[in-house]
Amino acid sequence: MQLISNFVIGFLAALIGVIPPGLLNMTAAKISMKQGRKVAILFSAGVCVTVCLQTFLALIFARYIDKHPEVVDILQKVALGIFLCLTLYFFLIAKDTRREVPKEMEHSKTNRFFYGIFLGAINLLPLPYWVYISITFAAFGWFSFEQLELWITVFASGLGTFVMLLLYIWFFRNRMENNTLHFNMNYVIGIITAIISVITFFKIFQNI
């Protein structure tokens, strides 16, 4: 049962984490438009290799932190403040995200896999993201840091990332080609951070 829980959390957390338009998913969509879906899938595979490594490192660090409750309490309170600020920012302050796709960069098709690894490596957000996600769900008893469960989570994070990149490659490509991608992704991000804030607040309240 714990294996399933770790897999579901790993998959959904990765899926949600790649929803907001960013360097990785928008580049995948752009490559799909310019060089075809197969090349974009190769790029996405490279991204997922890096994501799996980052998830593994983050979970190892999170397992250490999880053994020190005093550190966890501080991190949860800090995270609550950060996510509340992010929620307000994306709902009230951030500008519209209905923007053009980043300009194409010159890379050969054979290097797209390594290009994906490189872009994934310079995107360091998964490290604190997975530390927070794993510690928060572990506090509820829904996440385990045992070795097998940890590897299941790493695999699920790569799979979830790959699935969302595929959605950008297949679905958003058509929308961007026809200039019909008209919804503001800041609202999506705001909803996600609001949900995380509620979960964090509930956990802090339980410990009082």
Q: For the chain, 208 residues long, give each residue's pLDDT as a single digit of tens.
A: 789 999 999 999 999 888 777 778 888 888 888 888 889 999 999 999 999 999 999 999 888 887 876 666 776 677 677 777 767 776 776 555 444 444 444 445 558 899 999 988 988 778 888 988 888 888 888 999 999 999 999 999 999 999 999 988 887 666 655 554 545 555 666 676 677 778 767 766 766 6
Tokens of 23: 């360097």
* Long-range contacts formed by 169-178: CB under 8 A, 24+ apart: 169/28, 169/29, 169/32, 169/37, 169/40, 169/41, 169/44, 170/32, 170/37, 172/25, 172/29, 173/29, 173/32, 173/33, 173/37, 176/29, 176/33, 176/101, 177/33
Buried (b) or exposed (e) across 30-64, using 16+ Cβ within 10 A?
bbbbebebebbbbbbbbbbbbbbbbbbebbebbbe
The span from the CA of 158 to the CA of 160, in Å, is 6
- Type of residue numbered 158: G
The span from the CA of 59 to the CA of 66, in Å, is 10
- Type of residue numbered 167: L
pTM, entire model: 0.70
Question: Which residue's structure tokens are 């438009």?
Answer: 33
H or E stretch covering 140:
none
